[in-house]
Chain A
Amino acid sequence: MANMDSDSRHLLIPEGDHEINPGPMNIQFDSSDIRSKRPFYIEPTNIVSVNDVIQRVSDHASAMNKRIHYYSRLTAPADRALIAPDHVVPAPEECYVYSPLGSAYKLQCYTEGYGKNTSLVTIFMIWNTMLGTSILSIPWGIKQAGFTTGMCVIMLMGLLTLYCCYRVVKSRSMISSVDTTTWEYPDVCRYYFGSFGQWSSLLFSLVSLIGAMIVYWVLMSNFLFNTGKFIFNFIHHINDTDSIPSTNDSNPVICPSARSGGHPDNSSVIFYASNSELQQFEKWWNKSKTVPFYLIGLLLPLLNFKSPSFFSKFNILGTVSVLYLIFLVTWKAIRLGFHLEFHWFMPTEFFVPEIRFQFPQLTGVLTLAFFIHNCIITLLKNNKNQENNVRDLSIAYMLVTLTYLYIGVLVFASFPSPPLSKDCIEQNFLDNFPSSDILSFIARIFLLFQMMTVYPLLGYLARVQLLGHVFGDVYPSIFHVLIFNLFIVGAGVIMACFYPNIGGIIRYSGAACGLAFVFIYPSLIYIISLHQEDRLTWPKLIFHVFIIILGLANLIVQFFM
């Protein structure tokens, strides 16, 4: 048999008389698994001329094509065993599509990665998805942990969650026997832990979603209340000098929790005994008693939609809100100046110590703040250059850490401490600005709109996951969906009425769902896959068990704080 090596390695031996290339047709390729459909090749038929040997395609390419066609008939489509590996099939740039008339053209959109997003877009998407409402609690978290400790904890948590996220991204590559190209992280959990893995990952995912939705409800009631109050005061020209300690200048900062705290109340209490209009207003527009219920009429109908794709168009509001918050914080910091004093262990009247033992509250908040592990695989799938995935992920995490540090440090540092104590920093730092402040009013409006558009999306995700797994159908009937929605809304309303501390809700739900997705699953799966390959070493085992213990400690300690 002839020597194969003399075969030309080129796939296409160019011929002189190509037809004018009409340009690529609008062929849509399902991007979910392009590999199983390669190569695209239709044999040219010898319609044109009889005797000259017009070599359209080299024999090597033709043979490979026939081989791949044949092998694809031997297995089920999902079985990866006989799908051509990358080193065997030519690079995508060398693949041509043939029309039966003999012309060949390259596909413009056929790139190696499954997606077409540049690194910049991917980094932005990760940053955008990760930055959520926990940004409002970061200054409070820093206050709970102490300034120095807070900064160190933020950076360390960023690194730790980045490492766990890296483990999540790499988890699919350790599975060699099955085709994992369409898998998300819960599928990986199911592969390793069976149906226990599937159900537990579903449960923890729901914990994070429902926790987020409760936080949203509390915040929305808060913002709606403040907006309404601002508008009312603006219309009726009421100067809102409540009996709350605040700074007496053009950039007021208030300390709402001191009203019920032990601070001596020096300012006078102003009675509006004769102003029944205001009394009526305050009766019907109360942050914890009435406003949460008004929201029901607004949001419950939105939750019942089958497909919330309409709301995803408002995704840009999230970015705008974050950017505006950054601007707001910078502006306030410039106006208020820095007020920092370093006391290491003892609290003073106005300042908190640098190192406090309540720092686990910050780690709880940060677990949710840096949480993206259940959808990072999908986000990175669309990266054009897949080999840059780890680099882009690290850059995104670094940017998120910087954003949190920036906002947290600036708010904390610029909080006017001589008149007010740093302890006054609220779990939602916008609460530290009175409802008459224009800039924070704008911030609240932005955030209110943004949350109203994200809330149905979150509800949809939770519904799809729970009802999809329990009933098998994403929309079993309007009654199931209504009951589910009532349950979620009810939880939100109850929390808004009785426990509107978003810092608390965030840290509990963050530590709980982070336990599974951030700490336990990635480390455990890595240990197991190494063990299956006999590559497990003692240092790696100890390190990852340590991570699991950290996660458990993180959750347990939340209940003691």
Chain B
Amino acid sequence: MPNTAMKKKVLLMGKSRSGKTSMRSIIFANYIACDTRRLGATINVEHSHVRFLGNLVLNLWDCGGQDTFMENYFTSQRDNIFRNVEVLIYVFDVESRELEKDMHYYQSCLEAILQNAPDAKIFCLVHKMDLVQEDQRDLIFKEREEDLRRLSRPLECACFRTSIWDETLYKAWSSIVYQLIPNVQQLEMNLGNFARIIEADEVLLFERATFLVISDYQCKEQRDVHRFETISNIIQQFKLSCSKLAASFQSMEVRNSNFAAFIDIFTSNTYVMVVMSDPSIPSAATLINIRNARKHFEKLERVDGPKRSLLMR
């Protein structure tokens, strides 16, 4: 059923050089072209043509240029930028020396959101935390979080601390994606049932474009806490290699004497990963199970109907 609503936006905003381009590149496995390492601010909104959770389009926008030209342009284009925004992700550089200015720009964005898209979800990322000494990170983040919560009233914002050099970036975006899925608890319940039925050790549900983990069910306690991000990085790398050959990644089976893992397309916007520790179960059996489950989950998505299901095409 075609979606007659306009494309919804995910707005990734922040001061220039706060790390948005790197973030987008890492999460969406885009190449950073060399010329985007510009020294000046973005004049136009950068549209990324990645479909994200179905019908969401990611827009990048530099906030807070140094001159009045940027300010004027921002105010005149405001309605255009903030219309149809589903999600606002605002990136703060923890090393920034102009806290007042940062907060000022953040507040102007919030005003625009209030006017144009008051239902949008707001997430604040305090980025580049690796540059802060380890023992001070919690403290600094708590301070910032309080300030941001206070400034955002009456809107509500969720804050995360991130750095591209540890797992916090992945976790933050996973949490964001998790909150954007309307029927996620139901999904998790069904995923758990599915896992128990097929006797899998672990079943993961990934978002298709970014391989962020939406949901995860484990029968046994897994040892490696970094495994989600690692799997995502491995597959994103593999996707990059495939794209060089103009091929697209579809599915993967990894097997040895200890386990068998299957990664496959699931619904129109998700991938599933099934880990079986009983190697005696033939692959064909698991693949059939996955195929049958697919039909069920797709029905689950459609059952939620045309009203604001983000997983709809």
Contacts and interface: CB of A to CB of B under 8 A. Distances in A.
B165 A88 contact: yes
Nearest to A59: B224
B207 interface: no
A63 B165 contact: no
B130 A87 contact: yes
Contacts of A78: 34
Q: Sort chain B's interface into a size bin.
A: 20 to 34
Contacts of B39: 177
Contacts of B144: none
Q: Sort chain A's interface into a size bin.
A: 20 to 34
Given A59-B224, A63-B167, A81-B37, A75 B31 contact: yes
A74 B225 contact: no
Nearest to B228: A1
A263 interface: no
A453 B225 CA distance: 64
A327 interface: no
A258 to B, nearest CB: 63
A69 B31 CA distance: 14
A133 to B, nearest CB: 44
Contacts of B25: 74-75, 82
A71 B230 contact: no
Interface string B6-31: 00000000000000001001100111
Nearest to A80: B37
Given A50-B258, A63-B229, A81 B32 contact: yes
A88 B130 contact: yes
Contacts of B257: 50
B32 A74 contact: yes
B80 interface: no
A7 B166 CA distance: 13
Contacts of A88: 130, 165
Interface string B221-247: 001111101100110110011000000
Contacts of B149: none
Contacts of B250: none
B171 interface: yes
B167 A82 contact: no
Given A84-B165, A88-B130, 5 more contacts: A4-B167, A7-B225, A59-B224, A69-B237, A70-B234
Q: Kindly list the 10 A-B residue pairs having the minimum CB-CB distance in the complex, ordered from nearest.
A: A63-B226, A70-B233, A88-B165, A2-B225, A59-B224, A66-B230, A66-B233, A75-B32, A70-B237, A74-B25
22 contacts: A1-B225, A7-B225, A53-B223, A59-B223, A62-B226, A63-B226, A63-B229, A64-B166, A66-B230, A66-B234, A70-B234, A71-B26, A71-B164, A73-B241, A74-B25, A74-B26, A74-B31, A74-B32, A79-B34, A81-B22, A87-B131, A88-B130
